[in-house]
Amino acid sequence: MERWPWPSGGAWLLVAARALLQLLRADLRLGSPLLAALGLLAALDWLCQRLLPPPAALAVLAATGWITLSRLARPPRLPVATRAVLITGCDTGFGKETAKKLDAMGFMVLATVLDLNSLGALELRASCSPRLKLLQMDLTKPEDISHVLEFTKAHTTSTGLWGLVNNAGFNDIVADVELSPMAKFRNCMEVNFFGVLALTKGLLPLLRRSRGRIVTLGSPAGDMPYPCLAAYGTSKAAIVLLMDLFGSELLPWGIKVSVIQPACFKTESVINVNLWEQRKELLLANLPQELLQAYGEDYIEYSHKQFLNSLSKALPDLSPVTDAITDALLAARPRRRYYPGRGMGLMYFIHYYLPESLRRRFLQTFFIGPRVPRALQPGQPGLTLAQDATQNPNLNPGPSPVVAR
């Protein structure tokens, strides 16, 4: 087949014109996704020249370029106007930064904090407009939730409640399931599931009236078996399933439900090494002697050190998460799931498409690697070397190199 001149001028002119128009309208960002798309279009052009006659190649390239730019375009946004949003957990981290951003955009923000005199609460008072209202709420206390519900109903009569951002979360243990006390599982469920459920159900009449939005912070630990995050991960798995149920059941009411599954970011709780040290010491002090003998103190110390190592690699810029929350509140067609943070696409690809053994190895490599409990190490009473090799072929008693995510 005779080759024809590169590039396909008409198709590329159409693609360039649309890309320029979208950039001028701020519907498109000049970044790696756009550059990657243009590179793939160039490869497609090269392939079409060799396989298709000119008219067909021109049509394929033009259609592909148009569809690609449509997919890359930012979804249309709703106006902020006088929309009111309730955000939980605004003392620190994602909640505090989201409250500041939405206030600057013109939202009426109702921000809940554990302590009205905390540093985060004081920062919000100093940096935000008088529209922002601070409310004290502990999600484990029904009276606090009732107070917030009544306040919200009374202060949104003119504007309505457009959105609820379930950001508040809790975790205070890093340990295997067997080493985690039942009380820790209950504490995580009380905050991350039952508290969120009670608040969301209480606000549904307002959200149904406004045909508004529910945005909830989940965690990849609720989708994947992260080592030593059992209590936290199971509570996040429960709340994400609940939000999927809400997303289906509230669709006829016009309410859109989104879940944010962020990577590890440097929030205040993540970088507070002293707090994690105290929690580890508390775990060791209260662990039943039988379990301490079976696993060994060095096993817990090793897991703790690798956990801290992974936290040291946390992402410093919180804006991908606040941007995702904003999009979920204002996009005309918000996504059901958002995955802000570097590496999340690869992580979920591995989780959904690779064999279970590779998925487990990936989490161990990038989070907390395997270590043999004391009772299973060679030479311990009741276990011969042959039994150890047979029962634990993939385990190594020494530490393995770990790269934190």
The one-digit pLDDT tens for each residue of the chain (405 residues) are 444 454 467 777 888 887 888 777 666 677 777 788 888 888 888 888 888 888 888 888 888 888 887 777 766 778 888 899 999 999 999 999 999 999 999 999 999 999 999 999 999 999 999 999 999 999 999 999 999 999 999 999 999 999 999 999 999 999 999 999 999 999 999 999 999 999 999 999 999 999 999 999 999 999 999 999 999 999 999 999 999 999 999 999 999 999 999 999 999 888 889 999 999 999 999 999 999 999 999 999 999 999 999 988 899 999 999 999 999 999 988 999 999 998 898 899 999 988 999 988 888 888 888 889 988 888 776 554 444 444 454 544 444 333 333
Integer Cα distance of 267 and 308 in angstroms: 14
In whole angstroms, what separates CA 309 from the centre of its chain?
20
User: Is residue 379 in a domain?
Assistant: no
Q: Are residues 66 and 96 in the same domain?
A: no
Global pTM value: 0.79
On whether residue 160 sits in a domain, the answer given is: yes
Q: 43 and 160 in one domain?
A: no
Sign of CA dihedral 92, 96, 97, 100: negative
Domain, as residue range, for 57: 9-72
Q: Are residues 168 and 43 in the same domain?
A: no
302, 330, 348 - which closes a domain: 348
- If phi over 0 gives left and psi between -120 and 50 gives alpha, with beta otherwise, what is residue 186? alpha
Active-site residue list: 232
Domain-embedded: residue 279:
yes
* Token pair in block for residue 160: 């309505």
Residue 206 and residue 329 share a domain: yes
Are 102 and 75 in contact, with CB atoms under 8 Å apart? no
DSSP string for 147-213: HHHHHHHHH-TTT-EEEEEE--------B-TTTS-HHHHHHHHIIIIIIHHHHHHHHHHHHHHHT-E
Q: Is residue 392 part of a domain?
A: no
What is the number of domains present in the chain?
2
Q: Which residues of 84-116 are buried (b: 16+ CB within 10 A; e: fewer)?
A: bbbbbbbbbbbbbbbbbbbbeeebbbbbbbbee
- Are 17 and 143 in a shared domain? no
Same structural domain, 64 and 103: no
**Domain edge (last residue) among 72, 100, 125:** 72
62 and 99 in a single domain? The answer is: no
**Do 289 and 316 belong to one domain?**
yes
The DSSP 8-state label assigned to residue 251 in this structure reads: G
Task: Tell me: do 119 and 68 sit in the same domain.
Answer: no
62 with 125, same domain: the answer is no
User: Residue 296: inside a domain, yes or no?
Assistant: yes
Q: Please check whether residue 366 lies inside any domain of the structure.
A: no
